[in-house]
Chain A
């Protein structure tokens, strides 16, 4: 009897390990994560408008239908990226996600405090390699460090009423993300 209980206990302990291992391994094995879903439509280092979510077709789950959205699937391996996003009338935000979909930074139009949200995205190494004087002169330059060389930037402009959706989309059409040779 005791022996069977020991086997059972071993199974429970091993089960806990299996549980932890699968939870930790899942993000690296997932093939339907946001980055993979966006890859077919989003060229690298280009702002691409996302189709509005509809009942039958939604690229990603839980998208907010009140927003016009665009993505920039970035790759910083060649050079840092410069992002410029014009601000719409109501509310505009820029969110940064790693390759695994982790939101490591987000900023809205009010926090950016200008008519155009302008920032430089680079890896930690590229930031460290930046010439020092440039860093000083660019004191008011917003620099965002990406934890991974690839990832996703999501640009969103709110249409508070459905009639303003077209104007929100037009605003995002003026957004640019392009590699900036150092």
Chain B
């Protein structure tokens, strides 16, 4: 009887730990070789044959086609610089400069990677569309209601992610420390 209970416990623990860890890894996105710059994270290796098993399983599950390394690099942000998750009902301000690249695009998605519906039909910006300050820095405000300047509508979505894609850029697998690669800072203003 003890043997039966024992093996039952073992199998139960195995199933819970094994499947739980897999689910956790795939939904949280725990690929290796991440490049962290401020609140932004990129996985350059996911766009090459060096992709790790977790990222392989992740793209198989979501159906995403990652940006190829010879094409560009995608930086993802889900939280601001202080670690507060993005809330589409509040204002999030991106300020600063972007790394060297021929072009970049900034896009707002829901956590599943769909565009978020909004009255302005704007889902992001390209490097050519942006209005810059006289010193070349940029300021983009993600907010539910229209604002002057570079307004990125959040559509009031509860959660969202920002993806900054650099095309034809020297940023890649070899990029490590954040010093030589400037990324915009992200600040979420308190909701009113």
Contacts and interface: CB of A to CB of B under 8 A. Distances in A.
Given A3-B2, A11-B9, A12-B17, A161 B126 contact: yes
A95 to B, nearest CB: 4
SS of A interface (majority): mixed
Interface stretch (B83-91, B116-124, B183-191): B116-124
Nearest to A69: B65
Contacts of B74: 62
Interface in A75-127: 90-91, 93, 95-97, 100-108, 110-111
Interface stretch (A22-30, A134-142, A171-179): A22-30
A81 B107 CA distance: 33
A154 B64 CA distance: 12
B17 A15 contact: yes
A100 B129 contact: no
Contacts of A96: 68
B173 interface: no
Contact of A66 (B22, B46, B48, B107): B107
Given A106-B68, A160-B103, A24 B49 contact: no
Contact of A147 (B49, B70, B107): B49
B65 A103 contact: yes
Interface residues of B, number: 64
Nearest to A55: B117
A53 B115 contact: yes
Contacts of A22: 18-19, 22
A14 B70 contact: no
Given A16-B18, A62-B113, A91 B168 contact: yes
A24 B71 CA distance: 27
Contacts of B103: 90-91, 158, 160
Given A61-B63, A154-B65, A161-B126, A11 B12 contact: yes
Q: Can you list the 7 inter-chain pairs with the closest CB atoms, starting with the nearest?
A: A18-B18, A106-B68, A11-B13, A61-B113, A15-B17, A106-B70, A14-B14
Interface of A: 3-4, 7-8, 10-19, 21-24, 26-27, 30, 32-34, 36-37, 53-56, 58, 60-62, 64-67, 90-91, 93, 95-97, 100-108, 110-111, 147, 152, 154, 156, 158-161
28 contacts: A10-B10, A11-B14, A14-B18, A15-B14, A22-B19, A23-B53, A26-B56, A30-B61, A33-B61, A33-B63, A34-B64, A55-B114, A55-B117, A58-B114, A60-B64, A60-B65, A61-B113, A65-B115, A93-B167, A95-B70, A96-B68, A103-B47, A103-B49, A103-B65, A103-B68, A106-B47, A107-B70, A108-B167
